[in-house]
Structure 1
Amino acid sequence: AVLCGSEGTLALISEARINLEPLPTEVALVAVQYESFMDALFDARELMTHGATSIETVDSKVLNLAMNDFIWDSVADYFPASDRTLQGINLVEFTDFDAAKLADTVDQFRRYLEQVASDNGRSFAHAIARGRAQVSQVWAMRKRAVGLLGGVEGAKKPVAFVEDTCVPPENLAPYIGEFRQLLDEHDLDYGMFGHVDAGVLHVRPLLDLKAPETMEMVRTITDQVVDLTKKYHGLLWGEHGKGVRSEYAPIFFGSLYPAICQVKALFDPLNRLNPGKIAGPTVDSPLLKIDQVPTRGASDRAIAPSLQSSASTSLLCNGNGACHNYDLDDRMCPSWKATRDRRYTPKGRAGLMREWVTRLSDQGVQSIPSLSVGEHILGAPARILRTWKKSDANYDFNHEVFESMSTCLACKSCTGQCPIKVSVPTFRSHFLSAYYTRYSRPMKDWIVGTLEYALPIAAQVPKLYNLLVESRLGRGLFSMLGLVDSPSLSGIDPHRAIAEAGFQVADTSRLLAMKDSDPERFSRQVVVVQDAFTSYFETNAVVDLFELLKLLDFEPTLMPFHANGKPLHVHGFLKWFKRLGESNAEKLRAIDAIGVPMIGLDPSMTMTYRSEYQEAHIETPPVLLVQEFIATHLVEGAIATTLPVKRFRLFAHCTEATNAKESLALWKPIFAMAGQSLEIESVGCCGMAGTYGHEKANVETSQTIYAQSWKPKVEAQTQSDGEILATGYSCRSQVKRFSNQTMRHPVSALRVILASAASQQPA
């Protein structure tokens, strides 16, 4: 027992036998709402008398973060809208082995809440989650909300140094009142949450650890909190250990401290085990001091400002480990799930990137280098020689970072799902840009980077192109260059296909004239912005989109094809991407200036305009996802049909599902308006991610990722399960490749439904 809580200062434990108790089988949770956080704290004391297993309190800071995150959708039913302002909650959990007893306990508690609801300082609303699944959703919200604290904008981030203080539960409310006053006097923002039934409340003040003076404030605040916890008969450490706060151990242990030192001397007389923590062999042994421990902020301070900017999201990583996710139906992080190599997680890559920019800064490098196409050509001989000489004998840390970055799918799940918003694709592109100033780019990168330029030309001779990619000779050639399973062209140029379907190419002068001469017709105009993949590999999907829009009484026109630049960004051609993006954005602005909405079909390519373009400081007007446009411009009943209800299941592209979850959810009411049922499935990454799955080096990993979540769901579907639809071109391509099934985009399914409704024929 003496080893418990010793934090590695007495011994190393290699094996332990633990007695386990069975968990209660029945669970319910009551979410109790308050107009102030202090009301929630004061009320918790009374709530404890009702036999709850646990009670957790969350303040408005943490709550608001959750409300503005996708996680809120899963728990919104437990926090119904009210004219009262929600500023605090108590999450009261009840458990039992007997379902009937639990139901009775919860019902009694519910009646109590209803009885006191009108009293001052009491809750104004409550909701009940029943069963493991519902309760887990609420706890997941609380867990993610706490993680989101680390993602607040600005240089100041929540720092855990007085975060687990503990006082007797009956003292908690007045203690926290003084604690809040203390932090307010320092003009600090903070979030509070924790286990009020145990008297532990987690407090994380927002501080900028890169600022040299911050550690002085850490010292001052900690000293004040020590005095405050002593006043209320509590401890500085109630849950997470003493650790770097061990200098305060003599204060709290008092006369027991010499005895603790004697125990340390018996186990570790030479003070080798975790020295400076809790106690030393003598009362005079030095202990760690709160303001003298190394911090990430201090090391990041030494990085050149321009390097900090290029690697910014990697420096945000606080090591929370949300990306070490074992749920195969969750999208973050596919390379981790396929390899179980922690270097291939957002956390691992962020750590490598942080180390890389630190080393660059140590060598006097002020900014991450990047080359234009011309510079690539001029410097090719030197880079080829350097690449040829590359070997393990000539160690270069660049190669370690490159190995990790090259396994990233750039699916952007981390960008949307990481609570800190660590975006690996963002800093990965900066790293690749710099790496290839020193080493030669493989030919596959040039092929992928120029693909958007080559496809319009290839579309003029589709049979010749398809012969090349489908023949044994062509496949062998592409394999030698590092690419496999290249898709075939649709066989018809998208501009010609649209014209044959009776639609026109967008013309700014025609649209301007229409705006003045025919305002009603002008109000129905929408411009479809092309992406290379659906336009040239799935031209039929583009035609379906046009026909769907026509059925919805819009008049779509096709914007002439221009490269989007997404492949360039993914592979680190940043100067090229910037130049192309600015040219493309100018054309988009010309359409936007007329007042015509623009939409895109493929979510990943379309979202480039709102993500990568913005990161590159390219002024770009909105380009909507298809469902965003339809949901915004249609009124209830506009597409009602009397057809039999069909069931559909939607598998979304990773980028869309994690970075535009609210937009993704719009497909459900759109299908409902058409009298159809659509469910958005929880599914992992498909493993294709643009061109990642077509790279020879990635095929095995790509197939592993596909087999983990998509394959079993795709191949096990039956007619009664409903047709699976997919929004991403790359996802549909992957299904075709590994399951030999053709999957439709939602617009294709809707087009058939509405066309059938128009002729009153079953879809």
Structure 2
Amino acid sequence: MPSPALSRSALVEALRAAVSCEVAGDPATLATHSTDASNYRHIPLLVVRPRSAEEVVTVLRVCAAHGAPVLPRGAATSIGGQATNEAVILDFTRHLDRVLEIDAGARTARVEPGLVLDRLRERAAGHGLTFGPDPSTHSRCTIGGMIGNNACGSHSVAWGKTVDNVRSLEIALRDGTRLEVGRTSPEELESLCGREDSVGRLYRSLRAVRDEYLSDIRLGFPKLPRRVSGYNLEYLLPENGFDVAKALVGTEGTCATILSATVDLAEAPASRALVVFGFDSSVEAADAVPALLDLPVLTMEGIETGLVQALDARKPGDRSELPAGTAWLYLETGGASAAEARENARRVAERAELVGASTLVVEDPAAQRKLWRIREEGAGLATRLADGSEAWSGWEDAAVPPENLGKYLRDFELLMAEHGRKGLVYGHFGDGCLHVRIDFPLAAPEAAPAYRAFLTDAADLVVRHGGSLSGEHGDGQARAELLPRMFPPRLMAAFAEFKAAFDPANGMNPGRVVDPAPLDADLRTVIAPPVLPTRARLALHADGGDLAAASRRCVGVGKCVSASGGMMCPSYRATGEEEHSTRGRARLLFEMLAGDVITDGWRSEEVRHALDLCLGCKACKSDCPVGVDMASYRSEFLSRHYEHRKRPMAHYTMGALPRWLRLGAPLAKIVNAVAASPLRHALTRLGGIAAERELPALATPTFRKWFARRENPQWTAERTPVVLWPDTFTNFFDPGVGRDAVAVLEALGHEVHLPARTVCCGLTWHSTGQLDTARRVLRRSLDTLEPWLDRGVPVIGLEPSCTALLREDAAELLPGDPRVKLLGKAVRTFAEHVGEAELPEIRSVENRVLTQVHCHQHADLGYDADTRLLGRVTGEARVLREGCCGLAGNFGFERGHYDVSVRVAEHQLLPALRAAEPGTVVHADGFSCRTQIRQLSGHEPAHLASLTARALGLSAE
């Protein structure tokens, strides 16, 4: 813990005088770094982001001189609480993130601690190699963090834990001493111990620990593949080469700071197959493990039906089929060729009958990825149980010898029943390691004693089965206090002396492993309860209308701080700043409600600033394993932040865009002329619009006007009525999309109707937090639609953002209106409706199409129907499924957002447009996406309705 005499201001002054890197102590930074992925909360002293190893050493020396504890930290996805402390956080994620060298011949890599695992694997893949340990957080966890926690992952049955893959480490001691550690020959050890400096003192102390506790180390550790608890003192034994690097793996930042690491690489199988065994229960799956351990597999992972149901509830159809059962084992095989992987899979599948399992062999890589998503997102999916209750970490990764897994799981289920607890079980069954999130009552008055009672009994249970308190995630604050129940007193004394050898002043991540903080102290829900009213103005159905529960929904797994994969989180990918990630914003909201670090409540400028760069893309709603819906939380915050206050001008202009467009449409030619003249600069300045943006031209006539003026078709047969929703953007800017949609729908035998009066979903008011206006607008639209809704007539949307609001967010705005449920059932996307029909003769197709998926469609509507229709009306279609276009409604038009908007587009969209072959047709259904493409490239994008009309020979273009 920090020294009582420690002066934060003096420390800041000293650090800023000594280093040029960022030294941050502002409330927003402290709030976003106050926790990791655990249940604990500690407000850091400062956050420092060193740019070089030399700056790390300097920071360590300054902190030592001021008595300030230090915590080296990576992506902060640690679940045991080891990555949160009242210390100076050394944040390695911004810099010190390079691959320094790959030696393909030696199969090694030298890397900096902030390097993300997936970046190393991408570089190694070019040599046919990989880094074996692969935790589910592989897209954002850092190598330094993996070394700190001794991370494992799904492939540990093949490639072991991180400790098995570390060759040497370059470290810095608390006093700034730098040294390289690894295997040490007897001669080297003798020489090192003879030195009269801090290195000599270190090695003499480590040798003394080995010699004093030699028999204790040899006999005191349980024998199992996943023992991660405690320190790895066995690597100091003579038979293990006195390997100080391996001994430091898993020390959780309590001993030294890693400056670089040399790690082993493994040969990556060229091809893989997945065999899935189905069982009636997780216990039966666990019982089968011993009979499968001799199989040629890379993984032996267990999941249960609760995880599958959680994923299905959020993303229906977003997984491949599973064989019969309620619990499953994933048995992955590999080979130098598809045939070899398939042959290994066949051998594995033959074992199904012996263990009484149903079986399925999956060879298609896309189908495999869908199944793996269930397992990889388990830590998030398991945080909400079927009854909606919250589930927590704390006892989530205990391990036993694999042959004991079935017995242990039976007893563990009995223990949960005795305590009245529930949880979803999954994990690394082949290594005897179980993951589980449990419904601890952490938001209730009895939180701390209930948590302590369960963890204490659970520790005794796993020890009885010859296991380890932690099999992967480390001890942290959650389990360090329980280590004496697992290890004899002399081993505990050895741990203390080992830490003291490196850190005699106890300044490195104190209170973890040795002299631990109580496991029931610092629980964030207990020490930081909300002090503001938390009943939301939006329904927030997923959290019972409670914004506090919504802010707790983020458990810190950090998928939003990934640099690639999915669409989340575009603003973080553009800025690299934690406060602009979904996780960072959720933590700021939590701290705002608590009123400790963020003290201004709903007037908080820190929260407003963080949410200002939230694009409202909703990607987090679907991509976040926990289903955080930051777009809704942003609307909620803006509604309260600007209550009875002047809003930004953009809220009055673009927030009320439908109103202004209705007024301007009759004067479209004049408006367009002014918008294209030098007066545009004055208009954009007055309207809060980015000066770099061109103003889209108003169409003449509007879509509604065109529809009203056209000759009524003379149908010879009865036709099925549909309502086409004339959204603001189609109506006023891109009426050609509406005309093409009408042509297609009529060609399919529909009688197309537009609502009799002007309608609007209220999107622009909703996204700017003007919720009362959004409700009024939506109610008026429901009044107009009601006769159609009563008849069950489909309502077809063309603009994804408006369609998503009608189907999803309308229920959040007007939860008590019975028409909203009818609306949700009636609303369909163009592809959902047209894709089910038998199309007339296809006359021509676009040969090459590049598709930008709208974020709201990705999050709320799904894209499977669009993919199928694209396949019918186009030739080769490449669908971009990673990254927002960057315009995101009004976001990219608002003053101050242009640069971020472009950087977001540069993540995938703009490079894809530049690389597109000549003749490629660009397809984007969202008006924002089409506008961004028009303004930042030379392409003229088309809507799916237009592509379909062209294919049928119906388009007027």
Pair in the same fold by TM > 0.5 = yes
Counterpart residue number, 1:182: 415
Check the 8 A contact 1:323/1:418 in 2, yes or no.
yes
The Cα shift of 1:415 comes to 1.8
Q: Give the CA RMSD over aligned residues.
A: 3.1
Q: Distance in 2 between matches of 1:743 and 1:568?
A: 27
Deviates more, 1:352-361 or 1:528-537: 352-361
> SS in structure 2 opposite 1:204?
strand
Structure 1 residues 539 and 169 mapped into 2: Cα distance closer, same or farther (>3 Å)?
same
Counterpart residue number, 1:652: 853
Structure 1 residues 95 and 105 mapped into 2: Cα distance closer, same or farther (>3 Å)?
closer
2:880 to 664, 669, 681: 681
Q: Deviations over 1:666-688 (max 9, x none)?
A: 12333455586655432421111
| In the alignment, structure 1 residue 192 sits paired with structure 2 residue 425 | yes
| In the alignment, structure 1 residue 254 sits paired with structure 2 residue 488 | yes
Q: Deviations over 1:286-320 (max 9, x none)?
A: x4332233233552355534268246533311111
1:357 to 593, 616, 632: 593
Counterpart residue number, 2:640: 434
Check the 8 A contact 1:336/1:345 in 2, yes or no.
yes
Q: Deviations over 1:469-494 (max 9, x none)?
A: 11111333323432142211112132
| In the alignment, structure 1 residue 89 sits paired with structure 2 residue 325 | no
1:12 to 256, 266, 286: 256
Q: Deviations over 1:408-453 (max 9, x none)?
A: 1111111222111111121212222222236522322211122211
> SS in structure 1 opposite 2:303?
strand
2:279 to 23, 30, 35: 35
Structure 1 residues 216 and 470 mapped into 2: Cα distance closer, same or farther (>3 Å)?
same
Q: Distance in 2 between matches of 1:689 and 1:261?
A: 54
1:20-419, aligned counterparts within 5 Å? Answer: 20-36=264-280, 37-70=282-315, 73=318, 75-76=319-320, 79=321, 85-95=324-334, 99=336, 103-104=339-340, 107-111=343-347, 113-114=349-350, 116-119=351-354, 121-129=355-363, 138-152=371-385, 156-244=389-477, 245-256=479-490, 257-280=492-515, 287-296=516-525, 298-300=527-529, 302-306=531-535, 309-310=546-547, 312-327=549-564, 330-359=566-595, 398-419=604-625
Q: Distance in 2 between matches of 1:735 and 1:243?
A: 48
Check the 8 A contact 2:720/2:750 in 1, yes or no.
yes
Percent sequence identity is 25
Structure 1 residues 723 and 541 mapped into 2: Cα distance closer, same or farther (>3 Å)?
same
> SS in structure 2 opposite 1:203?
strand
Structure 1 residues 407 and 528 mapped into 2: Cα distance closer, same or farther (>3 Å)?
same
The Cα shift of 1:570 comes to 1.3
Aligned AA (1:92): L
> SS in structure 2 opposite 1:696?
coil
Deviates more, 1:729-738 or 1:216-225: 216-225
1:527 to 696, 719, 723: 723
| In the alignment, structure 1 residue 739 sits paired with structure 2 residue 937 | yes
Check the 8 A contact 1:503/1:556 in 2, yes or no.
no
Structure 1 residues 596 and 155 mapped into 2: Cα distance closer, same or farther (>3 Å)?
closer
| In the alignment, structure 1 residue 491 sits paired with structure 2 residue 700 | yes
Check the 8 A contact 1:31/1:128 in 2, yes or no.
yes
Check the 8 A contact 1:668/1:677 in 2, yes or no.
no
Structure 1 residues 717 and 503 mapped into 2: Cα distance closer, same or farther (>3 Å)?
farther
Q: Distance in 1 between matches of 2:827 and 2:688?
A: 34
Aligned AA (1:227): D
Q: Distance in 2 between matches of 1:446 and 1:68?
A: 37
Aligned AA (1:222): L
User: TM-score, length-normalised on structure 1?
Assistant: 0.83
> SS in structure 2 opposite 1:456?
helix
Q: Deviations over 1:700-740 (max 9, x none)?
A: 111222222111222332257x5221110111111111113
Q: Distance in 2 between matches of 1:401 and 1:752?
A: 47
Structure 2 unaligned regions, length at least 5: 1-243, 537-544
Counterpart residue number, 2:750: 554
Aligned AA (2:698): L
| In the alignment, structure 1 residue 476 sits paired with structure 2 residue 682 | yes
The Cα shift of 1:502 comes to 2.9
Check the 8 A contact 1:62/1:146 in 2, yes or no.
no
Check the 8 A contact 1:551/1:755 in 2, yes or no.
no
Q: Deviations over 1:122-141 (max 9, x none)?
A: 2211214477x776554444
**Larger fraction in helix:** 1
Q: Deviations over 1:305-350 (max 9, x none)?
A: 42682465333111111111211x6311111111111111111111
The Cα shift of 1:553 comes to 0.8
Aligned AA (1:28): R
Structure 1 residues 539 and 30 mapped into 2: Cα distance closer, same or farther (>3 Å)?
closer
> SS in structure 2 opposite 1:236?
coil
Structure 1 residues 675 and 399 mapped into 2: Cα distance closer, same or farther (>3 Å)?
closer
Counterpart residue number, 2:779: 582
Counterpart residue number, 1:425: 631
Check the 8 A contact 1:494/1:539 in 2, yes or no.
yes
Aligned AA (2:496): C
Check the 8 A contact 2:306/2:386 in 1, yes or no.
no
| In the alignment, structure 1 residue 500 sits paired with structure 2 residue 735 | no
The Cα shift of 1:205 comes to 1.4
Aligned AA (2:887): M
User: TM-score, length-normalised on structure 2?
Assistant: 0.67
Check the 8 A contact 2:846/2:921 in 1, yes or no.
no
Q: Distance in 2 between matches of 1:482 and 1:355?
A: 30
The Cα shift of 1:546 comes to 1.1
Q: Distance in 1 between matches of 2:341 and 2:553?
A: 44
Counterpart residue number, 2:922: 724
Structure 1 unaligned regions, length at least 5: 281-286, 369-396, 505-513
Counterpart residue number, 2:828: 625
2:889 to 690, 698, 719: 690
The Cα shift of 1:532 comes to 0.9
Q: Distance in 1 between matches of 2:942 and 2:794?
A: 25
Check the 8 A contact 2:286/2:405 in 1, yes or no.
yes
Q: Distance in 2 between matches of 1:293 and 1:352?
A: 18
1:431-470, aligned counterparts within 5 Å? Answer: 431-437=637-643, 439-470=645-676
Aligned AA (1:550): E
The Cα shift of 1:111 comes to 3.7
The Cα shift of 1:363 comes to 8.2
Check the 8 A contact 2:831/2:869 in 1, yes or no.
no
Count of aligned pairs between the two proteins: 690
> SS in structure 2 opposite 1:568?
helix
Check the 8 A contact 1:313/1:421 in 2, yes or no.
no
Check the 8 A contact 1:475/1:485 in 2, yes or no.
no
Aligned AA (1:300): P
Check the 8 A contact 1:482/1:695 in 2, yes or no.
yes
Q: Distance in 2 between matches of 1:52 and 1:552?
A: 52
Q: Distance in 2 between matches of 1:610 and 1:430?
A: 19
Q: Distance in 2 between matches of 1:599 and 1:198?
A: 51
The Cα shift of 1:268 comes to 4.5
Deviates more, 1:684-693 or 1:267-276: 267-276
